[in-house]
Structure 1
Amino acid sequence: MKNIIKLIKQAGNKFYIVLGLVTLFFVIFTLVSSKTKLTATKKNAKYTIAYITSDWHQKNNNGVGTDFTYYVNGEKINKTCANSLEKGTRYIVLYDSLHPKNYIILYNHKISNNIKSPVNGWKFNELPIKIDSSDLKFYFEKLNL
């Protein structure tokens, strides 16, 4: 430990400059990576039902927001969104058919309990409720896609 402190003192300001550059690179990489995932989600879109499993919460193991679950090919996917949605309700979720853990929850499109969740998702023209393409444009614009 003493050697590390001695090395930091010798490096002086260079250490902080390198640390700052590494942090900046990490932030930029994270932003670009998340944008790329959402763009792919838009391109390979399929739809299913998101089951809201919690009310809005501050911080827990999943983070801040509302927890929900959706199923793709029998796989259960648990996520948290930043929207305040009521526990027990169901919404349409758009997901990437190639990477199902990438999603966009359509929080303005609640779905009734009598509609069953598809095994392999719906294509846009197969959705059981009408969603206008301008509605999707709203979500894409909000996410800058």
Structure 2
Amino acid sequence: MPEDKVIRIVMAIGVVFSLIYIFFFRLWIGPPNQHMLKNTKYAVGIVTSGYYTERGRSGNDFKFMYDGGDIIEAKANKELTKGRKYLVAFDSVDIKNGFIILEKYDITDSLIQHKILPKYIMYSDTWSLVDIPFQYDKSEIEYDLKRAYEQE
């Protein structure tokens, strides 16, 4: 068997397995549920696309890294600014319980001010509510998270 054909077969198998992994992984993470509010941690979400409308859906793409070290890529039906960083709430015990991007908390400037830099490309820092290093009212963040959860 020629070497080119073997390489193509291996690449095709890799692509198929990658698509299966992405498809099933994405299905595991459902919409935010009540359990998310009990074990909430916060991370830096980076908006990776401008606002768009596509096949009846609209919003922005964003990604964040959670405690497991994995990067989650998702869509938010919100009007966010491409390249800006926002606070993302997620379940620290089980990411399958969901996550919410909090568009009210654009933390781009705060990250610079507090010298919180990304490791490689993504921010790996996560915080509990009391440990968030930015100058926001913690009770207001908690209230906004509950309000955003009810709207999801």
| Alignment check: 8 A CA contact 2:47 2:60 kept | yes
Where do 4+ consecutive residues of structure 1 move more than 6 Å?
Answer: none
In structure 2, what is the equivalent of residue 79 of structure 1?
74
Superposition deviation, residue 100 in structure 1:
2.3
Deviations along 1:76-112, one digit per CA (max 9) or x if unpaired, are 1001111111110000101011222511111111112
Is 1:47 aligned to 2:42, yes or no?
A: yes
Pick one of 117, 126, 129 that aligns with 1:121: 126
The sequence identity of aligned pairs, in percent, is 26
Unaligned runs of 5+ in 2: 1-29
Q: How many residues align?
A: 109
Q: Scaled by the length of structure 1, what TM-score is found?
A: 0.64
Cα distance change, pair 41–116 in 1 and its aligned pair in 2 (3 A): farther
Report 1:58-97 matches (<5 A): 58-59=53-54, 63-72=57-66, 73-97=68-92
**Which residue type is aligned with residue 67 of structure 1?**
D
Superposition deviation, residue 68 in structure 1:
0.2
Aligned-residue RMSD, C-alpha:
2.4
Is 1:107 aligned to 2:107, yes or no?
A: no
**Which residue type is aligned with residue 116 of structure 1?**
L
Cα distance change, pair 92–130 in 1 and its aligned pair in 2 (3 A): same
Larger Rg: 1
Deviates more, 1:95-104 or 1:78-87: 95-104
* Structure-2 separation of matches of 1:120 and 1:96: 15
